[in-house]
Amino acid sequence: MTHKIILDTDPGIDDAMAIFFAFQHPDIEVLGLTTVYGNVPVSMAAKNALTLCEMADQDIPVTQGVGMPWVGPESSYAHFVHGDDGFGNTFPEPSERELDPRSSAQFIVDMARKYPGEITLVAIGPLGNLALALRLEPELPKLVKGVSIMGGAAFVPGNVTPVAEANIWNDAHAAAIVFDAKWPLTMFGLDVTLKTPFTLPFLDKLEDNNEKLGGFVKRASQFYADFYSQNRPDRVCFFHDAFPLAHLLHPELFIIKRGHARVGTSELDRGQTVIAPEGSTASPLWTEAHKVDVAVDVDHEKLEQLFIDTYAY
């Protein structure tokens, strides 16, 4: 079965690893990369997405999307995690290719109308493009197959504040709109992604299996591993963004919990994804909220082997 997807992304090193995984796997058809600010400014995210398509010889649309949060000032970006260039300061040769002239939100709406019920929106950055697409086309939840996101922290601490994960924190109001929409949404947050560290031998295997794409991921991940290995005895990094894609192909690897979801948008709870499992509360603030699926565990060994095998295709 081929999965038609649109990848909404802020590349970003783990974004790059995920994007190449999607390009490599024969059962995933990437209709386009829609970019958003987050790890880097949106103009850099768009340029980086074009570079990744060039590296992987993929001739698909790339669009530039929102560059600002739904509410509030410009983001501070995550160059301290992903490097000045978003690729661990490896500064790959930029692509000469042109962006698709549409905005990311418009592209999402156009594709959903063209392929009603067939597309999974896979969002691995802040959610402003999906929120804007919902405003452009209120029927969007009926026009897509589903939504899978890397973001949130349901039952574990956040990575930007004690309660908030970066993608949700970066655009909490947009996330609240996306979580409230009546579409099937599956959240791959820190609950599952931080449980699965990836070591340097894993990066060696990606490179052994695919010198060009795996080699790039390995080089870019050195800066990324420096960040993640501070205060750790071992040298690791986390490929958060590949989890929603692995689930598309092998849902049996994951443990999923369902619950009513709310997203915090005030100062203290900005970007907090509060998930109330069914029956866990009588508060209408949650019982009347949309239910989402949350990944809480994964078979790490099989997941790692899936990534390694797919890079070899």
The residues annotated as belonging to the active site are: 240
Residue nearest to ligand RIB (CB): 166
* Residue among 158 and 259 whose Cβ is closer to ligand RIB: 158
125 binds Ca ion, rule: CB under 5 A: yes
189 binds Ca ion, rule: CB under 5 A: no
Minimum separation from the CB atom of position 115 to ligand RIB (A): 25
Stretch that binds Ca ion, among 151-159, 222-230, 233-241, 244-252 (CB under 5 A): 233-241
Spatial separation of the C-alpha atoms in residues 169 and 83, rounded to whole Å: 20
Which one of Ca ion, ligand RIB, none interacts with residue 276, CB within 5 to 8 A by kind? none
124 binds Ca ion, rule: CB under 5 A: yes
279: left (phi over 0), alpha (psi -120 to 50) or beta: left
Residue 211: which residues within 8 A CB-CB, separation 6 or more? none
Residues that bind ligand RIB (CB under 6 A): 10, 12, 14-15, 38-39, 124-125, 150, 159, 165-167, 240-241
* Residue among 106 and 170 whose Cβ is closer to Ca ion: 170
Alpha helix ranges (H) inside 161-277: 166-170, 172-180, 190-193, 200-209, 211-229, 243-249
* Residue among 26 and 231 whose Cβ is closer to ligand RIB: 231
Site string for Ca ion, 8-27 (x = CB under 5 A): --x-x--x------------
Query: Could you tell me if 97 and 52 are in contact, meaning their C-beta atoms sit under 8 angstroms apart?
Result: no
Q: Which strands, in side-by-side order, build the sheet including 185-188? A: 62-64, 28-35, 3-9, 119-123, 146-150, 185-188, 291-298, 254-263, 273-277
